[in-house]
Amino acid sequence: MTQIAPVLFVGAGPGAADHLTLGALRALQTAEVVIHDRLVGPEVLALIPASARRIDVGKEGFGPSTPQSAINAALVAQALTGARVVRLKGGDPGIFGRLDEEIEALAAHAIPFRILPGLTTAAVAAAEIGQGLTCRGRNTGLRIVTGQAMEGFAEQDWKGLARKGEVAAIYMGKRSSRFLQGRLMMHGAAPDTPVTVVENVSRADQRILAATLATLPATVAETQGPALLLLGLAPRAAALSLSQLHEAQA
C-alpha cells in the first residue's frame, strides 16, 4: 500500500525570496511535486529543484484561471501517488488563498497535511513604505479585507473603515477602487485620507504610489500588475525598498 506523505501548504510571501521562511525553503528543497499559484515570484520558483515536477494552477482576476475543482483534483491525485507534494501559495495560504477548500478536498480522501505560514502581502507592503500596520495613538486594530467577493464587489463595515485613523489592507481592490472610494466617502471618510497603492509588492518592478481617497481610482488606473491598497497609510520618504537595499549593500 502506498504511504501517503502529508501535503505541505507553503506560504511563498508576495514575491521576493528574501521573504521565505526557513521552513518554506526546506519544504521546497525536498519537494517532488510543487503545485503553485500565478503570483508566486520567479525568485521563489527558481528555488524548486530541477527534479521536482511543477504544476502551474494560476488564477487571474477576470482572466484565464484554473478552476478550483481542478486544483483540488490535482492535489488529491498527486498526494495519492505517495509523492512529497508542496502546495505553494503567494503570500500566506490562510489569507484569501482558498486554503480551507483545498484542505477539505484532502480530508475527503484522508490525506494528511501541514500548513507553513508565509508573510502576507500586507505586512511586506507596509514594510516597503516604512510604516507599521499598527501604531500607538493612531489605530488600535488592523483590518484585512478584500475588494472582490464571489458575488462581485465586497461589502464591508464602511462606517468603521471610514473612521479617522483606521488602517486597512485591501486585497484585490484595483477593480473596485471607485466603489471603495464611494462607499467610504458616503460614510464620512475624508477625501484627503491617505491611501498607498503598492504594485508588484517586493518584486524588482515594485512601485509605491501615494494617493488619497479622492485620487485613488486615478492612481490605481496607472498600475498594470497586482496591487495592494493600504488605507490610512502614507509612505515614509526615507524608506528604502528591498531592491534599493540590495543595491546599497552591493
Active site residue ranges: 37, 59
Judged by DSSP in three states, 234 sits in coil
Q: How far apart are CA 202 and CA 6, in angstroms?
A: 30
Judged by DSSP in three states, 18 sits in helix
Judged by DSSP in three states, 53 sits in strand
Contacts 24+ apart (CB under 8 A), 204-213: 204/243, 206/15, 206/128, 206/241, 206/242, 206/243, 208/128, 208/129, 208/235, 208/241, 210/234, 210/235, 213/181, 213/184, 213/185, 213/189
DSSP characters over 112-181: -EEEE----HHHHHHHHTT--S-BTTTBS--EEEESEETTEEPP--HHHHTSTT--EEEET-STTHHHHH
